[in-house]
Amino acid sequence: MKRRTILGGLPALGFATVLPTALRAQTAPVSLTVGYEKVGHLAPILLAGDVLKKAGMDIKLVEFVRYADARTALLAGSLDVAAVGPADLAIALANGSSNMVGLMGVGSSPKYVIGRVGTKFDSWDDIKGKKIAIAPGSAVWFQFAATLIEKGIPYNSFTAVNIQGAGTNLDTALDKGEVDAIVTWEPFESIPVMKGYGYFAKNLDYSASKAVGAELGMLVANKAAMDRKRAAVQSFVSAYVSQMHELSAATPKFGAAIAAMTGLDADVSLKIAEIIKLGPIITPEQIKRQAKAFNDLGVIPKDVSGEIDKYWDGSLLTNAMKS
């Protein structure tokens, strides 16, 4: 885990909402610790944090490689807010933790299997007998597994190669020819395509399952932070939504923000910006479907779909959308 503060050099893209009176009245700056991952669809986080820091809030960002690590830190109380996977609320509840509150989704995109150039993936039947690299337990793995179930494709019809850690590890395996395809996330989907050793298998879109959908992630809060720092969490959500709207309205600006966040080349970042649709599309109903499906899959120990409403607070997003 690498701790860092907001990058002061990023441009603020316009946030008209001032800090709430409850925050301005504090004699000392309110501290808010936010966990994030260096992925394109979370580019608004850096910009939102920069805006709030300039407005007087003490914002600290903590960078994680995986959603699962941010989830663990949030549940332990090390984070006030975090970006996690769409299934992480259900995972937390199923494992007996009630410290997480869902706030909003962050974006969506089509999710294609990335095939190695020279390998045929024209239909789902083509995965049979192939070596496919996955990140076990990741958000994209949930999407992929749910899609296979809905299409009636046995999971043992291909060889799943489990690869841990950053998405670069999956790209390396594809580049070296160790696997025929990968199931990963941006920017690690576009990099093989841009570098010429991979391609989007567009007939193998696993973002459309009823159980999971096209969601890329969501923002959640620690329950104690919601109780003690609600005004600060509201300010963060409002700033995030403002920056999200700014980036959504200008693809080149979104691409530049992705490049600043990830360090990727401008052309790769722009390609990612063209694919991702920023916005809070995830709903409690979708999370309930995930919770039931993952229990049916045996991924989580019990069906917690009936508990989701108690741990979802959409009012902060509603307030932010009015700003």
So where are the chain's domains?
A: 2-108+214-322, 112-205
Rounded Cα distance, 225 and 217, in Å:
20
Give the per-residue pLDDT at 14.
42
Alpha helices in 55-185 (DSSP H): 67-75, 88-94, 139-150, 167-175
Calculate the alpha carbon distances from 289 to 64, 90, 284, 295 in Å. Answer: 27, 10, 9, 10
Q: What is the dihedral of CA 22, 25, 29, 33, to 10 degrees?
A: 0
Write down the pLDDT at residue 91. Answer: 92
Domains 2-108+214-322 and 112-205 alike in fold: yes
β-strands 131-134, 181-182: how paired?
Answer: parallel
- For residue 12, the model assigns a pLDDT of 37
| CA dihedral sign, ordered 31, 37, 40, 42 | negative
Contact 240, 30 (CB under 8 A): no
Q: What burial letters (b/e) apply to 244-254, b meaning 16+ CB within 10 Å?
A: bbbbbeeeebb
Low-confidence ranges of the chain (pLDDT < 50): 1-17, 25, 27
Phi, psi of 190 (to 5 degrees): -75, -30
Quick one: which of 298, 14, 43, 80 has its CA closest to 186? 43
Per-residue pLDDT at 146: 85
Q: Give pLDDT, residue 257.
A: 96
pLDDT, residue 100, reads 97
CATH superfamily assigned to domain 112-205: Periplasmic binding protein-like II (3.40.190.10)
Q: List all residues 6 or more positions away from 181 whose beta carbon is below 8 Å from its beta carbon.
A: 113, 114, 115, 116, 119, 121, 127, 130, 131, 132, 133, 174, 201
For 9, other C-beta atoms within 10 Å of its C-beta total: 7
State the chain's mean pLDDT as an integer: 88
State the architecture of 2-108+214-322 in CATH terms: 3-Layer(aba) Sandwich (3.40)
The answer to whether 146 and 209 have CB atoms below 8 angstroms apart is yes
pLDDT of residue 279: 92
Of 214, 209, 85, nearest to 146 by C-alpha is 209
Give the tokens for residue 285. 């109903």
Looking at residue 247, its pLDDT comes to: 97
